[in-house]
Copies of this chain bind each other. A is one copy, B any other.
Amino acid sequence: MTNAMRPHAAAFHFIKALSIGIVLGIPLPSAGAALAPQLAITGATIIDGTGKAPLHDGMVLIEDGRITAVGPARAVTVPAGARKLDARGKFVIPGLMDAHVHIVFASLEQLIRYEGRYQDLIFGPVQFTLRNGVTTLFDTWGPREALVKVRDMINAGQAIGSRIYLAGNAVGWGGPFSPDFNATDASRVSAEFVKRTNGTWEQGTGRALLWLPPEQLRPVVREYLRKDIDFLKYAGTSHNTAHFSYPTFSPRQQKVIVEEGRRAGFSVQAHTLSVETLDMAVDAGVDIVAHGDNTGPVASIPDETIRKLVDRKVAVAIRPFRQKFLDDIEAREKANPLPASWGEASFFVGLMKNEKINQRKMIKAGVTTLFSTDGVPVSHAQAASDPGMARFALGEAHFDALVALEEDGMDRMEILKSATSNIAKAYKLDARIGTVEAGKIADLLILDRDPLDSAQNYRSIHAVIKDGKVVDRERLSAAAVSDTD
Binding site for B on A (CB under 8 A): 8-10, 12, 107-109, 112-113, 115-116, 174, 177-179, 183-196, 198, 206-208, 210-213, 215-216, 238, 240, 242-243, 245-253, 274-277, 279-280, 295-299, 302, 305, 337, 339-341, 343, 484-485
Contact = CB atoms under 8 A, between A and B. Distances in A.
Contact of A250 (B178, B187, B238, B276): B276
B207 A245 contact: yes
Contact of A108 (B178, B189, B242, B248): B189
Contacts of A211: 245, 274-276, 295-299
A210 B274 contact: yes
Given A238-B243, A243-B238, A299-B211, A115 B116 contact: no
The 5 A-B residue pairs whose C-beta atoms are closest, nearest first, are: A9-B116, A179-B242, A250-B276, A191-B340, A186-B341
Contact of A280 (B109, B208, B215, B250): B250
A98 to B, nearest CB: 26
Contact of A113 (B113, B213, B243): B113
A252 B276 contact: yes
B186 A188 contact: no
How many copies altogether? 4
B299 A212 contact: yes
A251 to B, nearest CB: 6
A96 to B, nearest CB: 31
Contacts of A343: 174, 178, 194-195, 198, 206
A42 B295 CA distance: 65
A363 to B, nearest CB: 20
A109 B193 contact: yes
A21 B178 CA distance: 40
B250 A9 contact: no
Nearest to A248: B246
Contact of A107 (B116, B190, B210, B215): B190
A108 B108 CA distance: 10
B337 A242 contact: no
Query: Which residue, of A12, A243, A248, A337, has the highest number of chain B Cβ atoms within 10 A?
Result: A243
B210 A246 contact: yes
Contacts of A183: 242, 341
Contacts of A246: 210, 238, 243, 246-248
